[in-house]
Amino acid sequence: MGKVTKLKLAVLISGGGSNLQAILDACKSADYPAEVVLVFSNQTDAGGLTRGRDAGIRSEAISHKGYPGGREAYDAAVSALIEESGADLVVLAGYLRLVSESFVTRWKDKLINIHPSLLPSFKGLHVHQAALDAGVKFAGCTVHYVVPEVDSGPIIAQAVVPVLPGDDAGKLAQRILRQEHKIYPQVIRWIAEGRVSVDAKGIVTIADAKPAEMAELNPVLEPG
């Protein structure tokens, strides 16, 4: 029996890389259909680079500050690294930098992001405080394909958490982050298994999705 070909991932980060670690942990399972081949950061001191190197994965950083040629040239250099790594899917995991339209076009349908709100609500930054200020009773996170418009691409999956009395932005962020660590590896698995499709209206379908599989991403009764 031949070796199973795994989906190759390039994970882009800007900070500590906790979502990267969740993906790396998932990849340790023999039956997980994906592997990380590149960790990249726009911050040379990003803690997630250490996570990648400790896992024996090529981990590179290029500072975007003062990069010759500006955003387009910078993103072209990042694309070249990704192409060199042989990655099939680009995973934005706390990559706190807007990517150029040319980058999105180059990786169309091969570029995903995780956002700490239930899109289309609360796009952009400071979303946890925005959710609290709006008085919503549920918050969560969204994995979506990336399009040129920020936080507007086709939604692949969402995980929901309750907003609890006494929450501040930090407490809510931590509760959501725990679900991010579940949902992102799951979505990558679905993509690697060829189960994700998008119709002409941008609606995503997960083939053969089991009720229990979907419910796990919506632990609305989980208090912690």
pLDDT tens, per residue, the chain with 224 residues: 456 799 999 999 999 999 999 999 999 999 999 999 999 999 999 999 999 999 999 999 999 999 999 999 999 999 999 999 999 999 999 999 999 999 999 999 999 999 999 999 999 999 999 999 999 999 999 999 999 999 999 999 999 999 999 999 999 999 999 999 999 999 999 999 999 999 999 999 999 987 766 655 655 444 44
Task: Give me the half-sphere count of Cα atoms (radius 13 Å) on the Cβ side of residue 148.
Answer: 5
* Cα end-to-end span (Å), the chain: 44
- Residue of 64, 115, 126, 181 with catalytic role: 115
Say if residue 102 is exposed, middle or buried (CB neighbours under 10 Å; 0-12, 13-18, 19+): middle
Global pTM reads 0.93
Contact 206, 157 (CB under 8 A): yes
Our answer to whether residue 128 is catalytic in this structure is: no
Cα(52)–Cα(70) distance, rounded to whole angstroms?
27
